[in-house]
Amino acid sequence: MRRPLRTGLVTGSAALATAAVAAAALGIGGGTGTPAAQAPQQATAPVTRTTLVQTQEVNGTLGYGTPTPVSTATGAVLTWLPTPGATIIRGRAVYRADNRPVVLFYGTLPLYRPLHAGDIGDDVREIERNLAALGYSGITVDSRYTAATAAAVKKWQKAVGLTQTGVLDPAAVVVAPGAIRVAAVQAHPGDHADGPILSYNGTRRVVSVALDVALQNLVKPGNPARVTLPGGQTVDGVLATVGTVATPGVDNQPATIAVTATVADQSKLGGLDEAPVVVAITAAKAENVLTVPVAALVALAEGGYGVQVVDGAGSHYVSVQLGMFADGRVEVTGDGLSEQTKVGVPS
C-alpha cells in the first residue's frame, strides 16, 4: 500500500481542496491502512486542544475620531477661543461671545429652545442632570422645569457670569457626550458668531477604519481587535461602532463602511495622533477544539484528508474532517484522535 501524499502548508479549505483534486488526478495516495515502511525516528507533533482564531488585517488611523463642528448664528462678537488640543470638561467655557461664556454641558440632545419654569421635556432632564453634577442642589432630575430648576439656573448663571434670569438660553450652552478635545478653530477673536467656530472630538484616541463592504459580515460591535502601532508594538482593542451606510469608492476603489475601535489602555499609545496602524479583526473563532499542524495533513487516495497517527505499535492513517484554519493549525475530528495523540509531520 502506497503512502498518502503529505501536503505542504495550506492557508485555507479551498487550497486544501485544490491539493486533493491534484493528488487524486495523479493517482497519488493510499487507503487508511498502515504504510509498508516508516522512516526511522519519524518526526511527530501532538494533537492539542485549543482555541483557533481567524483574523483579517486592515489598515486604519489612530486619532481622536471624526471632529464635530460647533456653529452659531447669534451674531455676537467672539472674545475668546480655545487653542487646538485643549481639553474642556463639563461646566467650563467652550468659547466666549460678547465676553460671556458658552459653557459645556454633557448630553446627547442639542438644546433647541429657551427653557422656562413650566416646560417639560427630555432637554429639561438633561439640563437638570448637568446642574446636579455641577453641585447645584434642591432640584429633582426629571422632565419638569420647576421653580427649583429656575432657582438652580439662576445660581449657575451668577457663578459663570451670565445675567440671572432663571431661563436657560440654548445659545449659552454647547452639548457634547462628554469631555471634549478641541480639534480645530475656524474663527478668530473679533469675528461675529455667525457660522462655524470650532470643531471638537473626544478626549480618548480611537482607531478609524474605512472597511471594504465585502468584509462587513466579519465585524460587529464588541468583537476584539489587535492594533499594531507604527513601531511594531501591539495593543488590544474592541470594535465600538460599525457603520451601516456605505461610502462609494473613488478611482475604482471599493465602497467602504466606517468602523471604529477603542483602546482601553491609552498609555500604550504614547503621543501618537493621526498615525497609520494595522488592525487585526477577529473574524471567526473555534473554541476548545482538537488541532494539528497544517503540515500534518495528508491527501488520501480515496478522497479527503487524514493524519498519520504514530504510536508504540507503528503508525497508521486516520481520515479526518477539517474545520477552521488559523496560525498554521487546523481543527480536526477523526476516530481515535485525542489530546496528545502523536501525528507525523515532515522532518
Those residues whose C-beta lies under 8 Å from the C-beta of residue 39, and which sit 6 or more positions away, are 347
**37, 29, 21: which is closest to 5 by C-alpha?**
29
Which single residue is written with the C-alpha cell 492539542?
Answer: 48
Is residue 335 packed enough to be buried (19+ CB in 10 Å), middle (13-18) or exposed (0-12)? exposed
Right CATH number for 5-53+286-344 from 2.60.120.10, 2.40.420.20, 1.20.1070.10, 3.90.1170.50? 2.40.420.20
For 284-311, b/e burial (b = at least 16 CB within 10 A) is eebeebbbbbbbbbbbbbeebbbbbbbe
Right CATH number for 56-64+204-283 from 3.40.30.10, 3.20.20.10, 2.40.30.170, 2.60.260.20? 2.40.30.170
Tell me which CATH code domain 68-202 carries: 1.10.101.10
Which single residue is written with the C-alpha cell 515532515?
Answer: 346
> CB count, 10 Å around CB of 203?
14
Note the pLDDT tens digit of each residue in 89-132: 999 999 999 999 999 999 999 999 999 999 999 999 999 999 99
> Would you place residue 31 in the very low, low, confident or very high pLDDT band (cuts 50, 70, 90)?
very low
Asked if pLDDT for residue 78 goes beyond 70, the answer is yes
Q: Give the residue-averaged pLDDT of 12-33.
A: 39
- Lowest-confidence region among 17-26, 40-49, 80-89: 17-26
Q: What is the predicted pLDDT for the residue at 25?
A: 29
Q: What is the predicted pLDDT for the residue at 172?
A: 97
Identify the bridge partners of residue 182 per DSSP, sorted by sequence position: 200
Which residues in the chain are classed under CATH 1.10.101.10?
A: 68-202
Asked if pLDDT for residue 330 goes beyond 60, the answer is yes
Q: What is the predicted pLDDT for the residue at 313?
A: 86
Mean pLDDT, the chain, rounded, equals 89
Q: What is the DSSP string of 27-44?
A: T----SS--S---SS--E
Which residues in the chain are classed under CATH 2.40.420.20?
A: 5-53+286-344
Report the length, in residues, of the chain.
347
Q: Kindly provide the residue ranges of all beta strands, DSSP E only, lying in 243-274, ordered along the sequence.
A: 256-262
**Percent of all residues in the chain with a pLDDT value above 70, rounded to a whole number:** 88
Asked if pLDDT for residue 151 goes beyond 90, the answer is yes
**166, 160, 170: which is closest to 116 by C-alpha?**
166
Q: What is the predicted pLDDT for the residue at 176?
A: 98
Asked if pLDDT for residue 26 goes beyond 70, the answer is no
Note the pLDDT tens digit of each residue in 216-244: 988 999 999 999 999 999 999 999 999 99
Q: What is the predicted pLDDT for the residue at 36?
A: 46
Note the pLDDT tens digit of each residue in 173-226: 999 999 999 999 999 999 999 999 999 999 999 999 999 999 998 899 999 999
Which residues in the chain are classed under CATH 2.40.30.170?
A: 56-64+204-283
